[in-house]
Amino acid sequence: MHSQRFYTFSASCPDQVGIIARVTGFIAEHQGWILESSFHADAIDGRYFIRIEVKADSLPFTLEEFRQRFTSIATDLRMDWRINDSAVKKRVVIMVSKQEHCLYDLLARWQAQELNIEIACVISNHETFKGFVEWHGIPFHHVPVTPDNKAAAYAEVHRLFDEAKGDTMVLARYMQILSPELCAAYAGRIINIHHSFLPSFVGAKPYHQAYTRGVKLIGATCHYVTEALDQGPIIEQDVIRIDHSDSVEDMVRYGKDIEKTVLARGLRYHLEDRVLVHGNKTVVFR
């Protein structure tokens, strides 16, 4: 990431002649200084994807005026687009249950300023990490989830997320299935870490499933949450090799390291607007 302030423009539109010329021409016309650019054409779906970083102080107007001036071009190109300011930290709400490794890793990266975010709060269906989270000066909310109170519980999660002015919700080994209403309300804004190399071993106890199947690779998957369990667009994945001598407990231990790094990378890509979703797939500009 650049040390100076910059704007990140990301977009997708139907593939056609002149997309780059229209976008970069608009930036150049206003003396914009491009720091980084990435493009991808999907020949099968006929879709074009763009990500551009522009030095903020090279433009003669505000971000809001950029949006106003660029709207006509975006309309002509039938473009889905956004532009964000690197100086504005994204507000992240972390959800966790009883597994600590992903939560600990995210807080360590946040403390080290490795992740340029504000952690607005932590929500859990258990009180296990209340003291640990509050020691970091982060608000902690205990929202129990039972078979009888799920609608009320997720209504409270919805309220807390909005109250915290959250931008992104991260399920850091949150072992509950979110309500369809919550998934729909924050589509493309909820990130999960699943402890298997999806689409293999969906659902509960994937390491046990992998052990029973006798696989030679185990992995982790960071993906967007949708109503369909563990079926959302994939952001990042990684694997590690195992063999016949490894027990389920060994696999769980190995897997925790992969889960932490995959979640951190996937979250970073999302926060830096490097992920563009198209249907159930993603384009990730690393």
Q: 216, 240 in Cβ contact below 8 A? A: no
Catalytic one among 80, 105, 162, 230?
Answer: 230
Q: 92, 63 in Cβ contact below 8 A? A: no
Q: 278, 12 in Cβ contact below 8 A? A: yes
Backbone φ, ψ for residue 62 (5° rounding): -75, 170
What is the distance between the alpha carbons of residues 237 and 47, in angstroms, rounded to a whole number?
24
What are the tokens at 27? 């930036």
What is the distance between the alpha carbons of residues 108 and 114, in angstroms, rounded to a whole number?
8
Three-class SS of residue 264? Answer: helix
What are the tokens at 182? 């919550």
Strand 90-96 to strand 168-171: parallel, antiparallel, or no bridges (unpaired)? parallel
What is the distance between the alpha carbons of residues 169 and 180, in angstroms, rounded to a whole number?
15
The DSSP letter of residue 126 is S
Strand 117-124 to strand 90-96: parallel, antiparallel, or no bridges (unpaired)? parallel
85 among known catalytic residues: no
Give the residue numbers annotated as catalytic, written as ranges: 230
